Amino acid sequence: MSDGARTRSSAPARGSRALKPKVAVKAPTDPVELLDQPVGLSGFAAASVLRRAGRRLGVERVRDLLFHLPRRYDDLREMRRLDDLHAAPDGVVVSARVRVTDIRVQQTFRRRVQVTTAFLADETGTAEATWFGRRFIERRLHTGDELIVSGKLKHRGFGIVFDDPEFQRADAASLLHVGRIVPVYRLTAGLTAARLRQAMREALDKAGYAYPEYLPSELRAAEDLPPITTALEHAHYPTSFEARDAALRRLAFDELLALQLGMVARRRARGRAHTAAIEVPDQRDHAIRVALEASLARKLGHEAPLTADQATAVAEIRGDLARPVPMLRLVQGDVGSGKTAVAAWALAAAALAGRQGALLAPTDLLARQHGNTVADLVADLGVPVTLLTGSLKGDARRKALEAIATGQAGIVVGTHALIQEAVSFADLALAVVDEQHRFGVDQRGALEAKATRGAPHVLLMTATPIPRTLGQVLYADLDVSTLHSAPAGRVPIRTGIRRPAELEGTWDKVREEAAADRRTFVVVPRIGPAAKAADAGEPDADPEGFFDDDELLDEDVETAWAAAAEAEYERLTDLLAPLRVGLVHGRLKPADRDAEMARFRDGDLDVLVGTTVVEVGVDVPDATMMVIEGAERFGLAQLHQLRGRVGRGTQASFCVLVSEAAEGTTEHERLKAVAATTDGFALAERDFELRREGDVLGLAQSGLPRLRVATLANAEHRELAARARGYAEDLVGEDGEAPSDPALVRELAGGWLRRVFSGDPASAA
């Protein structure tokens, strides 16, 4: 071969790119540096899996992995003899030390799923272990292996079977999956329970033992808390349940301390802020009230004075506005309790004082609804209301921006478009945030930053009644106005419980309501991907057998929930034909979801099928029926919120709770409580007794993240929160500056507590 030929053959082909060699990135050897290393570059055996799946779990750094805590613990310490298991009941989880005597692999005839069976023995008897669809089992097991197995027990004839058990070699240096207190973690697709436990063990060994202590020693001593390194070890791999409880108590205290430190700091910083007061003379206050009541009377067809609760809230807001310190008040009340009228009073007060008020809503559709409602409420005052949403284009948008910038727009209603850089207010004095848990702290702060004469007054609104015991902690730094009573003339909603087989009459009622030009919501229960995979004949969807609904991420649940809604939409489209059926769920684009809700509101649809995205939606006065399928799967407060979507007009309205829960069960008693009362605050208190606060507040709150360890439903944790408040008062400076302890400051700024410290309790309603 000539030199020229060799030269040509060694050059890259025309149009191709020379491939750069991959540069291996070594994980740092210093354990403290390793904490902030991306898990994909950690050097762990499961690094590649964690890189793909970790983001869905919120695990991006090694530090995040250490604080991905178990959702429960299985006690698999007791070793049972096989002969003794004949007397054990079906379904109990048991552990045994056994020897593999044979292995067989076959396929089921129905779905062609591979079944691996291991024949086991000890000195007292024999048993079998079966795995469906886990093809790697036959490669990991060999005749003669000594194992420890743990799994659910089944009786088959005269024999006993371990159903899809976990196993580990009996001579393993460290038992992770069997023969101990075993952590059970929240998982996501592509990450198995066994792989995650192995990664966690490696993270603890290489970085967890060196996690920097951040609590002052005197505080730890006063509360009798273990070191953070000990807490991490025992939170994942406890040697006893007493050690686990001590570890979780330490982590719960840390969360509550971070929460209280953030609240105290923000409260003190806000107390030092100044703003221009808004004086509302008696005559102006009276004029605004008269205008509101006249508007409500025109809408309802009868006199509609403000309720006592509304009048009290207005008086409280009036007092706040008159002070030179910016207001931060939450108005909470049931659906239909009149929160918008209270907000309209505040907005009108700002506008009539020659300043500006803005109302921020989470969706385009809700913003337009609020724009129309507020405009009607203040119509007699001559105050202009300007709408600004992302869908506003061209000349209409230009005119809105000009009116806001020049001050001609006394009241502005809009979506996230209000916080864009192009929006400039002449004199923003009041920011009202509706469904404020839908907005993060940064988003709300961006609106407040539009004010030019000091910090604006802030009024938050939520339709989720908050239990008193929870509010005492979460809202310790907020002023709260509560609207208990509904405006006069509100039609009570009749609520009944039906079994799925008893719905023929319900669907007849839906047809009857549609014939009268009235509409129906149908909410579907959530399901998990495990059930979906099984129904589709996909046995490998969960190769480790650890997926259950409680272990799935919200993202996984939302996807499966959307699929359930689509299936029910198809079924009801056929069943209720020729009625017009629509569909909404969390996986639709917001614009498409808003468009479908608008069609339902405007009468282009008779029935709207969906997930709980309908819980926060537009007013549909002609919606008179709410059918909630799988009602036992929802919290009491959420059932009440869903029920509040109907009964907004003058027609009789109905809520049907569909459930298979048997009479006398806890689930059925809970549904009976919903059917027996329309008091959302009473139901919220009852719900709080039964469920963690994160579930009471909703599935996916923004602002304050869901507490991982602490739960204010726990009396001991409420006591911890009260003591944490005392420590926070001592640690935070008078002007809201950070604690002086540098280790604690570093943890709050970049550690696992950052998400709680920087969260805003005002966003947790």
Q: Is residue 135 part of a domain?
A: yes
Nearest CA to 729 out of 477, 426, 434 is that of 477
Considering the domain architecture, whether residues 555 and 408 belong to the same structural domain is answered as no
Q: Is residue 62 part of a domain?
A: no
Considering the domain architecture, whether residues 597 and 665 belong to the same structural domain is answered as yes
Q: Is residue 187 part of a domain?
A: no
Strand partners, 608: 521, 582
Domain of 329, CATH number, reads 3.40.50.300
Q: What's the rounded Cα separation, in Å, for the pair 158 and 163?
A: 16
Considering the domain architecture, whether residues 386 and 479 belong to the same structural domain is answered as yes
Q: What's the rounded Cα separation, in Å, for the pair 687 and 677?
A: 13
Render pLDDT for 295-312 as a digit per residue (tens, 0 to 9): 988 887 788 899 999 999
Q: Is residue 111 part of a domain?
A: yes
**In which residue are the tokens 């740092």 written?**
28
Considering the domain architecture, whether residues 223 and 298 belong to the same structural domain is answered as no
pLDDT for position 694: 45
Selected residue with higher pLDDT from 20 and 533: 20
Domain that holds residue 497: 493-677
Q: Is residue 448 part of a domain?
A: yes
pLDDT for position 546: 26
Considering the domain architecture, whether residues 262 and 292 belong to the same structural domain is answered as no
User: Side-chain half-sphere of 609: how many Cα atoms within 13 Å?
Assistant: 23
Considering the domain architecture, whether residues 721 and 748 belong to the same structural domain is answered as yes
Q: What's the rounded Cα separation, in Å, for the pair 255 and 261?
A: 10
Bridge pairing between strands 72-75 and 181-184: antiparallel
Considering the domain architecture, whether residues 289 and 262 belong to the same structural domain is answered as no
Considering the domain architecture, whether residues 357 and 444 belong to the same structural domain is answered as yes
Domains identified in the chain, total number: 4
Position 37 confidence tier, pLDDT thresholds 50, 70, 90: very high
Which tokens hold the place of 579? 């009625």
Considering the domain architecture, whether residues 222 and 321 belong to the same structural domain is answered as no
pLDDT value at 550 more than 60: no
Q: Is residue 615 part of a domain?
A: yes
Please state the φ and ψ torsions of residue 151, each to the nearest 5 degrees: -175, 175
Considering the domain architecture, whether residues 381 and 525 belong to the same structural domain is answered as no
Best mean pLDDT range from 405-419, 528-542, 580-594: 405-419
Q: To which H or E segment does residue 309 belong?
A: helix 308-321
Considering the domain architecture, whether residues 254 and 331 belong to the same structural domain is answered as no
pLDDT for position 288: 97
What sign does the CA torsion over 564, 185, 700, 439 have? Answer: negative
Nearest CA to 254 out of 218, 236, 228, 224 is that of 228
Render pLDDT for 78-94 as a digit per residue (tens, 0 to 9): 889 999 999 999 988 88
pLDDT value at 2 more than 70: no
Q: Around Cβ 643, how many Cβ atoms within 10 Å?
A: 26
Which of 172-186, 275-289, 409-423, 467-481 comes out lowest in average pLDDT? 467-481
Q: What burial letters (b/e) apply to 157-176, b meaning 16+ CB within 10 Å?
A: eeebbbbbbbbbebeeeebb
pLDDT for position 764: 45
Question: Helix/strand/coil (H, E, C) string of 313-358?
Answer: HHHHHHHHHCCCCCCEEEEEECCCCCHHHHHHHHHHHHHHCCCEEE
pLDDT for position 476: 67
Q: What is the pTM of this model?
A: 0.71
Q: Is residue 73 part of a domain?
A: no
pLDDT for position 478: 79
pLDDT value at 737 more than 80: yes
**Overall average pLDDT of the 110-125 stretch:** 85
pLDDT for position 697: 37
Q: Is residue 199 part of a domain?
A: no
pLDDT for position 58: 86
| DSSP letter, residue 419 | G
Please, what is the average pLDDT of the chain?
A: 84
Which of 44-58, 227-241, 681-695, 696-710 comes out lowest in average pLDDT? 696-710
Nearest CA to 188 out of 558, 438, 525 is that of 558
Render pLDDT for 334-379 as a digit per residue (tens, 0 to 9): 777 889 999 999 999 999 999 999 999 988 888 998 999 999 999 9
Q: To which H or E segment does residue 676 belong?
A: helix 666-676
Which of 11-15, 448-452, 711-715 comes out lowest in average pLDDT? 11-15
**In which residue are the tokens 């079977």 written?**
161
Amino acid at position 106, single letter = Q
Q: At what angle do helices 364-377 and 339-352 cross, to 10 degrees?
A: 70
Distance of CA 574 to the CA centre of its chain: 33
Percentage of the chain beyond pLDDT 70 is 85
Render pLDDT for 121-151 as a digit per residue (tens, 0 to 9): 999 999 999 988 777 788 888 999 989 898 8
Q: Which domain-ending residue is among 483, 516, 538? A: 483
Considering the domain architecture, whether residues 661 and 574 belong to the same structural domain is answered as yes
Domain of 156, CATH number, reads 2.40.50.140
Position 548 confidence tier, pLDDT thresholds 50, 70, 90: very low
Position 701 confidence tier, pLDDT thresholds 50, 70, 90: very low
pLDDT value at 161 more than 80: yes
Q: Around Cβ 136, how many Cβ atoms within 10 Å?
A: 11
**Overall average pLDDT of the 568-592 stretch:** 92
Q: Which domain-ending residue is among 152, 179, 206? A: 179
pLDDT value at 583 more than 60: yes
DSSP secondary structure string for all residues of 81-132: -GGGGGGSPTT-EEEEEEEEEEEEEEE-TTT--EEEEEEEE-SS-EEEEEEE
| DSSP letter, residue 206 | H
Please state the φ and ψ torsions of residue 475, each to the nearest 5 degrees: -110, 25
Q: Are 744 and 214 in contact (CB under 8 A)?
A: yes
pLDDT for position 322: 95
